[in-house]
Amino acid sequence: MNQFTLPPAFPAMGFLHSLYKRCPHGYNLTSPESATEGYAPLSFFFGMIPGEAAMVDKPVPLTKDGLAKLERELEHLRTIRRPEVAARIHQAKELASTQNNAEYDDAKNEQAFVEGRILTLEKMMQNAMIIDEKEAHRSGRIELGSRVTLLGHDGKEQHFTLVGTAEADPKQGRISNESPIGQALLGKSMGEEVQVDAPKGLLRFTITRIS
């Protein structure tokens, strides 16, 4: 039985780490906004903010579908968004002086966002490590790509897929391997119990299925 402690939110890690979702009824990990009484921090599912993880020079675990999705986004940014923003900047320059030109400033800000996202995606794909989902589904232990069913102490089942931070989406039950709950699950087998310290208190789950 392993126990992991949920780290506190650090401002230096970005504002998402300090966001807590108000929960009306207890922790429902698949849907943090409808979870138990208390708060469910986004870092519980992500570990790191996806953008921060992407800029670290280390392997970026991705499924084949996840990589294809990022490739489509990068192509869209390069071929559509980038020219659109350049046209906006050109038009703003022609319409008025750049001094006190709100449209120009807005377009330049959008350009900075687009170029930053392009750099992030390029870095992610450069460091991409494709997850072997078929092997994960055959494995008797939880690893990247595994689909997991957990039974809570309240008798409710929850379903997760363990992915890299870049593909984490708690609303879809996709949790990061770098998050506290992801770390607690890695390497475990069916029937084992895991514990995770959360702001609400100690959470206990039994692994009932791995596929």
CATH, residue 73: 1.10.287.180
In the predicted structure, residue 19 carries a pLDDT above the cut 50? no
- The residue that leads in pLDDT, 205 or 45, is 205
Domain that holds residue 79: 64-130
- For residue 203, what pLDDT is reported? 86
* Domain at 170, CATH number: 3.10.50.30
* pLDDT 10s digits, 111-142: 999 999 999 999 999 999 999 988 888 888 99
| 140 & 205 share domain | yes
The predicted structure's pLDDT at residue 47: 56
CA–CA separation, 131 and 81 (whole Å): 30
Amino acid at residue number 185:
L
Q: How far apart are CA 73 and CA 97, in angstroms?
A: 33
Residue 162 or residue 16, greater confidence: 162
Whether 27 and 76 share a structural domain:
no
Q: Point out the domain boundary residue: 130, 162, 186.
A: 130
pLDDT in tens, 58-86: 899 999 999 999 999 999 999 999 999 99
pLDDT at 145 over 90: yes
pTM exceeds 0.75, yes or no: no
